[in-house]
Structure 1
Amino acid sequence: MSDLLVNDEDGLRTITLNRPAKRNAITMAMYAGLADALAEATENPDIRVVLLTGSGGSFTAGNDLKDMAANPPTGDDAPPLRFLAALHALRPVLVAEVDGPAIGVGTTVLPHCDLAYASARAVFRLPFVDLGLVPEAASTLLLPRLVGARKAAELMLFGEPFDAAEALGMGLLNAVAPDAEALREMVSGRVAALTGKPSAALAATKRLLRDEQAGTVSERLELDRKVFQSLLRGVKPPDAHP
């Protein structure tokens, strides 16, 4: 059985962390697979949305530290770094479906997601300082933007667990479902709505939301104009109505 499942259907690529006996702790091989799956989704024009989820009642327990010690991620092409680069460059809309533990990278990946949903039993934690490390995935930059500098410092410095209700309240999640089944139904509906939308418009809107170069209102107005006009050339006018 593969530790990473990838399935494409109707414009959706679902990537499932599938190591339930280890609460989906991520190995170097899984990072390599994740990097490839994300890069392929960016290159495939038929993929509008990528859904990241976990099996067996866990999102992920974070890095498999035993595997990481045996296969240290050294070099610019190390699997975790390739994964983060592919994550940052991802063209399709990225949706997280979080059920159960979301530890370490299970939390730091969420600011990279365009939308994030969780079950009420989801638990989040950033244990990096306790492990003698620093948070990865540019989370020291991205998390404060989502939850505020003071809250991000508290979460990262203390490394204490927090629940889905708190994650929702601080803006890390879009919504919380009461249980795993309700979560799947909610995410399925949200994803179906997204995959039914024009691919180019979805990708361009995501790109504008993520753009860090046009920092002033006037710069953003100019960027909006360029992207809007480029898309407009491909838009068919609606049928006239009497």
Structure 2
Amino acid sequence: MDEIVTEHAGSILRVQFNRPIKRNAMTSAMYVALADIFNKAANAENTRVVLWHGAGDSFCAGNDIEDFLKNPPGPGESPQAGLMHAFVNFDKPIVVAVQGAAIGGGTTMLTHCDFIYAGEGAKFQMPFINLGLVPEFGSSCSVPARIGHLRAAELILLGAPFDAKRAAELGLVTEVVSDKDVLTRATETARKLAARPAAALQASKRLMKQPFREQLKAAMKAENEEFSVQVRSEDAKEAFSAFLEKRKPDFTRSVRAQATA
């Protein structure tokens, strides 16, 4: 079974995460596949709009932890970095329907989208700090720029979950709709966009992104370098061990280890 499926409906490219049993958690192979989809769509004449959603009861639960631990990203090119570059260079509208969990990358990837419709039951979280990690996909830059430092600190430095209502209050989603109607609402917007003049639509998005594009690239580079260090830290090892062992992490262990070194 393909973990990401695509389908064309006129000039709309529908992209669906297709690992419902894993809440659409991302593997390295999925990052590569999704980057390829967006890179090809960027140059495809038959694609004016991307409509993106997940199968089952989640949008994306972030990284598949077992796969992630086998293939942690390095400071240079990685599957994750490849997808980041694809997003930064994508000038066609991206419309997303978010149902259920949008965790980690499932939230930060959304910062590159133009219309985000969240079901009432959607749950968002950027839990990187809880894993001894730092934000990615440029979110250390884009989230404070969008909602201000204090609110961004609440989401990034505490890493606490927040619901669709809070996401709307913060301006992180376009609209909250009923869970059963979220894909229909996103599809309606995708169709409206597909009927607009394609060249002007892309130029308008490109102009909107232009003042921040280089800043975002710099943030991603810095994040990737820091992420590659932190993912190999004692805190991260403890966090992932605790996650797999279903216990609360003890971050004082690394402090004790340093004190006795």
Corresponding residue of 1:14: 14
Query: What SS does structure 2 have at the residue aligned with 1:102?
Result: strand
* Aligned residue runs from structure 1 range 127-138, under 5 A: 127-138=127-138
Corresponding residue of 1:202: 201
- The offset of 1:85, in angstroms, is 0.4
| 1:121-168, Cα deviation, whole Å (9 max, x unpaired) | 000001001100000011010011221111001100111110000000
Residues in 2 aligned to 1:85 and 1:100: alpha-carbon distance in whole angstroms: 27
Q: How many residues align structurally?
A: 213
Corresponding residue of 2:191: 192
- Greater relative contact order (CA < 8 Å, ≥ 6 in sequence): 2
- The offset of 1:57, in angstroms, is 1.2
TM-score between the two structures when normalised by the length of structure 2: 0.79
Query: What SS does structure 2 have at the residue aligned with 1:211?
Result: helix
Say if 2:102 and 2:125, in contact at 8 Å, map to a contact too: yes
Corresponding residue of 2:247: none
- The offset of 1:77, in angstroms, is 3.3
Tell whether 2:17 aligns with 1:49: no
Residues in 2 aligned to 1:149 and 1:110: alpha-carbon distance in whole angstroms: 19
AA at the equivalent of 1:109 = M
Residues in 2 aligned to 1:35 and 1:159: alpha-carbon distance in whole angstroms: 26
Say if 2:95 and 2:189, in contact at 8 Å, map to a contact too: no
Corresponding residue of 1:104: 104
Say if 1:41 and 1:91, in contact at 8 Å, map to a contact too: no
| 1:13-62, Cα deviation, whole Å (9 max, x unpaired) | 11111101110000000001001000001011221111221110100110
TM-score between the two structures when normalised by the length of structure 1: 0.85
Matched residues, percent identical?
Answer: 40
| 1:47-103, Cα deviation, whole Å (9 max, x unpaired) | 111122111010011011210111233363321111110011112111121000000
- The offset of 1:175, in angstroms, is 0.4
Residues in 2 aligned to 1:28 and 1:7: alpha-carbon distance in whole angstroms: 22
Residues in 1 aligned to 2:36 and 2:164: alpha-carbon distance in whole angstroms: 30
Residues in 1 aligned to 2:96 and 2:184: alpha-carbon distance in whole angstroms: 14
Residues in 2 aligned to 1:20 and 1:38: alpha-carbon distance in whole angstroms: 21
Residues in 2 aligned to 1:184 and 1:78: alpha-carbon distance in whole angstroms: 31
* Aligned residue runs from structure 1 range 49-88, under 5 A: 49-74=49-74, 76-88=76-88
Query: What SS does structure 2 have at the residue aligned with 1:16?
Result: strand
Say if 2:51 and 2:187, in contact at 8 Å, map to a contact too: no
136-145 vs 5-14, which moves further: 5-14
For the structure 1 residues 200 and 170, does the alpha-carbon distance in structure 2 shift closer, same or farther, using more than 3 Å as the test? Answer: same
Residues in 2 aligned to 1:20 and 1:103: alpha-carbon distance in whole angstroms: 14
Residues in 2 aligned to 1:213 and 1:52: alpha-carbon distance in whole angstroms: 23
Corresponding residue of 2:113: 113
Tell whether 2:166 aligns with 1:162: no
AA at the equivalent of 1:208 = L
Residues in 2 aligned to 1:79 and 1:207: alpha-carbon distance in whole angstroms: 24
Q: RMSD value over aligned CA atoms?
A: 1.4
Which protein has the bigger helix share?
Answer: 2
* Aligned residue runs from structure 1 range 207-218, under 5 A: 207-212=206-211
Residues in 1 aligned to 2:4 and 2:164: alpha-carbon distance in whole angstroms: 25
Residues in 2 aligned to 1:120 and 1:213: alpha-carbon distance in whole angstroms: 31
